[in-house]
Structure formats: C-alpha cells, structure tokens
C-alpha cells in the first residue's frame, strides 16, 4: 500500500464515530490523487489537514450525502444503473473470493458486526469450489498417511 493510504471517510460512519481513516489500495489512491485538487507537498508538517475526497458545502467538513457526486461520477464513467452501494458489495465479494476473512473485510467497510459483512460478501461458486477442494485434499492426505484405518460401510435404506 502507498504510505499510510489513510483518507478521511464520510457518510454515516464518519458522522456516528467522528473522523474515520479509510485504508485505500494503490490503484484507488492513484485515481483519487489524479482527480483530486492539488495538495501541497509537506502540507501536513505545517498543520494542514488532508482535504476530504468529496467535499461538503461547509469548508473542511465531509459531505454526508454522496448521491449528487455519485450521479456525476457514474454518468461521466458510463456506469448506468450502478449504485455506490453495489460497489461496496463488489468490493466485499472480491475480498471474500480472494480468501480474506470477514473480520478484515468488515473493518475495510466500516462494519462492527461480522454478520453485516457476510451479507455483503456474496461468494460465487469458484471460491466455494476452491475451499471444498482444499478441505478434501487435506482429508485425502491425512487418509494416505494412515492406510491402516478400517473402512466402514454406510447403510442405505436399511441395507448394509
């Protein structure tokens, strides 16, 4: 990650808990830096705060409603019918599909409950198939090491 990659957060989480520092990956940070107003080099040393990515109507305050900015961004990017909320679900799904745990995904999304993150992190069949394969391989390896284990027939419909 780039530096500390912390940007002030906005929205309900920021309003409820005060300023929120958001971890942001290099690709996203480059996009923000290329499209945000210029920030003077070394400004933090002079007590200047990094500006909010999406500014509100009040100077130095975050915007609490992202509807209008998102409408402008999505229109410019040609993302018809894509909600900002959809991107949060996609982010969580990619994280879960990459093997990241729900506690990590939840922290990145600002969730306090793992159950909330589980609703966001929709798993498609590919990660589930990989997980099933990994478990089956571990069981098979354990069985190969212990060839002397008895094999027990499982009865079906009362027939053994």
For residue range 34-52, list pLDDT tens digits in order: 776 666 666 666 666 666 7
Q: Of 56-60, 81-85, 142-146, which has the strongest mean pLDDT? A: 81-85
**Residue 83 lies inside a defined structural domain of this protein:** no
Q: Which domain holds residue 42?
A: 1-65
**Residue 29 lies inside a defined structural domain of this protein:** yes
**Residue 92 lies inside a defined structural domain of this protein:** no
pLDDT range class, residue 4, cuts 50, 70, 90? very low
**Residue 15 lies inside a defined structural domain of this protein:** yes
**Residue 16 lies inside a defined structural domain of this protein:** yes
Has residue 143 got a pLDDT over 60?
yes
Percent of the chain scoring above 70 in pLDDT: 62
Tell me what pLDDT residue 95 has.
87
Which letter does DSSP use for residue 25 in this model? -
**Residue 28 lies inside a defined structural domain of this protein:** yes
The domain tally of the chain equals 1
Q: Compute the mean pLDDT over every residue in the chain, rounded to the nearest whole number.
A: 74
Cα radius of gyration (the chain): 24
Tell me what pLDDT residue 81 has.
92
**Residue 112 lies inside a defined structural domain of this protein:** no
CA–CA separation, 137 vs 75, rounded Å? 47
**Residue 78 lies inside a defined structural domain of this protein:** no
């Amino acid at each position: 990650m780039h530096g500390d990659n912390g940007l002030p957060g906005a929205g309900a989480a920021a309003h409820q808990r005060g300023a929120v520092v958001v971890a942001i990956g290099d690709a996203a940070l480059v996009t923000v830096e290329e499209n945000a107003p210029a920030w003077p080099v070394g400004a933090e040393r002079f007590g200047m705060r990094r500006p909010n990515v999406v500014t509100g109507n009040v100077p130095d305050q975050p915007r609490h409603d992202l509807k209008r900015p998102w409408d402008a961004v999505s229109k410019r990017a040609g993302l018809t019918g894509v909600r900002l909320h959809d991107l949060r679900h996609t982010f969580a799904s990619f994280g879960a599909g990459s093997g990241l745990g729900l506690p990590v995904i939840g922290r990145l999304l600002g969730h306090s409950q793992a159950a909330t993150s589980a609703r966001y992190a929709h798993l498609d069949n590919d990660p589930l198939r990989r997980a099933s394969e990994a478990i089956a391989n571990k069981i098979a390896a354990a069985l190969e090491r212990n060839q002397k284990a008895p094999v027990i027939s499982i009865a079906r419909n009362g027939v053994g």
